[in-house]
Amino acid sequence: MKSLLGFVALLLFASLALAAGSYDEGVEYETLPTAQPTVDDKKIEVLELFWYGCPHCYHLEPEIREWLKHKPDDVVFVRMPAVLGPSWELLARAYYTAELLGVVDKVHTSLFNHIHKERKPLNDVEQIKKVFEEHGVSAADFDNTFNSFAVITKTNRAKQVREMYGVTGVPTLIVNGKYRVTAKSAGGNKEMLQVVDFLVARERPGAEQKTAPATR
């Protein structure tokens, strides 16, 4: 019964996504020239590319949190801090430090709020460390992780977002390693997630046979 209810929920989600509107390639979303790997090939990936210093990313976060409350089980959500310039690297390392320490749920919103709500700078490692300490992370654990090979490796990969995803700004959402959605293309933050839902529905097995090509 539980599996049947889950299947019905997926069908309902797909129907709502398609009913919400059809979207055109090159208008509300773009197809990447080369599909990129995803973290789990058994699920449909939604990847958020962001930067803590970006006010548009800050304003997208409430929409993301609301969307995550209703995320279907066959969708995996991934965050990736884009590094589009040298000054972005510090905060990318902050995110990956939180990820490796298992405190993203505690620290992620606080880092955004520190910059955009409290209007306090996060321009050096010591300022970032204080935010982590406020959430129970010891100075030693922070230092060891922030300077670890794993964080540096992940950050170096984040420097490749321009080449991998054709990203020139954030926030950007990538669906299943194939499609790029921005607030500008979709028409706003809420609309970004509506386009994402549409593309997720299209990516489900058999969706191409069940739905007509997108038209407006």
CB 77 within 8 A of CB 136: no
Radius of gyration for the alpha carbons in the chain, expressed in angstroms and rounded = 18
Selection from 156, 198, 199, 154 nearest residue 176 by Cα: 199
Rounded Cα–Cα distance for residues 14 and 102 (Å): 32
Average pLDDT over residues 163-182: 97
User: Residue 102 is encoded by which pair of tokens?
Assistant: 């298992």
18-22, 55-59, 118-122, 197-201: the lowest-pLDDT one: 18-22
CA torsion sign, 89 to 152 to 35 to 174?
negative
Is residue 13 over pLDDT 90?
A: no
* 119: DSSP letter: -
Average pLDDT over residues 162-172: 97
Q: What is the pLDDT at residue 205? A: 86
Q: How confident is the model at residue 210 (pLDDT cuts 50, 70, 90)?
A: very low
C-alpha distance from residue 146 to each of 86, 92, 101 (Å): 17, 10, 10
Asked if CATH classification 3.40.30.10 holds for the domain at 2-208, the reply, yes or no, is yes
β-bridge partners, 80: 49
Region at 21 (left for phi over 0; alpha for psi -120 to 50; beta for the rest) = left
Is residue 29 over pLDDT 70?
A: yes
pLDDT, tens digit (0-9, with 9 covering 90-100), for 65-112: 999 999 999 999 999 999 999 999 999 999 999 999 999 999 999 999
Q: What is the pLDDT at residue 188? A: 97
φ and ψ at residue 49, rounded to 5 degrees: -100, 125
Residue 106: CB atoms within 10 Å = 16
CB 191 within 8 A of CB 20: no
Q: How confident is the model at residue 14 (pLDDT cuts 50, 70, 90)?
A: very low
Q: What is the pLDDT at residue 181? A: 98
Angle at which helices 2-19 and 189-203 pack, to 10 degrees? 120
Is residue 216 over pLDDT 90?
A: no
Q: How confident is the model at residue 8 (pLDDT cuts 50, 70, 90)?
A: very low
Q: How confident is the model at residue 206 (pLDDT cuts 50, 70, 90)?
A: confident
Is residue 168 over pLDDT 50?
A: yes
